[in-house]
Amino acid sequence: QVQLQQSGAELVKPGSSVKISCKASGYTFTSYDMHWIKQQPGNGLEWIGWIYPGNGNTKYNQKFNGKATLTADKSSSTAYMQLSSLTSEDSAVYFCARGTYYDYWGQGVMVTVSS
Amino acid sequence: DIVMTQGVLPNPVPSGESASITCRSSKSLVYKDGKTYLNWFLQRPGQSPQLLTYWMSTRASGVSDRFSGSGSGTYFTLKISRVRAEDAGVYYCQQVREYPRTFGGGTKLELK
């Protein structure tokens, strides 16, 4: 069955970077986009961008240009998102979701930015 | 960016009754292929969002036929028939017609 297993919670300092992962199983990793979505505490959902692992193509929400970098490792069927120059506004849960229809989601990674 | 605006439900909803959740987009979500590019999701407390419908009215695999999506190019409704305890949570609409993809602010469904 399709599963997206995300990495564990992160506590990071302001100004630093963090890289979170989303390991896919149960389907052909290179055949579906992987999308990333941000959810701040008590807030709604915000689309960050997608990566197509088959060729590495990416598409970003302009709001996250320079903040988020999406990569994928075909050998391990894992998608990554690096967030840089972290501030308190980046404290949130980050989800990965499969494909155009977002039909499968990871469990989410809580990133807390605090000194 | 396309702005998605969701309505508020008169909570709580009695179990067994119907509930209709509304969503409005600032621009038509109909593409030249005739499809309407709107998704509905349910996020139960403490869980990841779950896809309910796509292309406005096509139910995702395994989703109960108690959920039905309808609408026009800019106004959409998700109807939940015979509401049950497991339907409680926050419902989100999302447009996938243009970039950036945008979500509505969410509509909370509480059961009586």
Q: A41-67 pLDDT, tens per residue?
A: 878 899 999 999 999 999 999 999 999
Q: Does the structure show a pLDDT above 90 at B19?
A: yes
Task: Provide the pLDDT confidence category of residue B112 given band limits of 50, 70 and 90.
Answer: confident
Query: Which residue is listed with tokens 């989410």?
Result: A108
Contacts of B31 (CB under 8 A, 6+ apart): B37, B97
CB atoms within 10 A of CB A48: 22
- pLDDT, residue A100, reads 87
Give the model's pLDDT for residue A21. Answer: 98
Question: By the CB < 8 Å criterion, does A108 face chain B?
Answer: yes
What does the pLDDT look like over A73-110, one tens digit per residue? 999 999 999 999 999 999 999 999 999 899 999 999 99
User: Do residues B73 and B35 make contact, with C-beta atoms less than 8 angstroms apart?
Assistant: no
Q: Kindly identify which residue of chain A lies nearest to residue B101, measuring between CA atoms.
A: A47
User: What average pLDDT score do residues B37-61 get?
Assistant: 97
Per-residue confidence (pLDDT) for residue B84, from 0 to 100 = 96
Q: Which of residues 67-96 of A touch B (CB under 8 A)?
A: 95
Chain A CB contacts of B50 below 8 Å = 105
Which positions 1-60 of A are in contact with B (Cβ < 8 Å)?
Answer: 35, 44-47, 59
How much is the mean pLDDT over chain B? 96
| Cβ pair A47:B101 closer than 8 A | yes
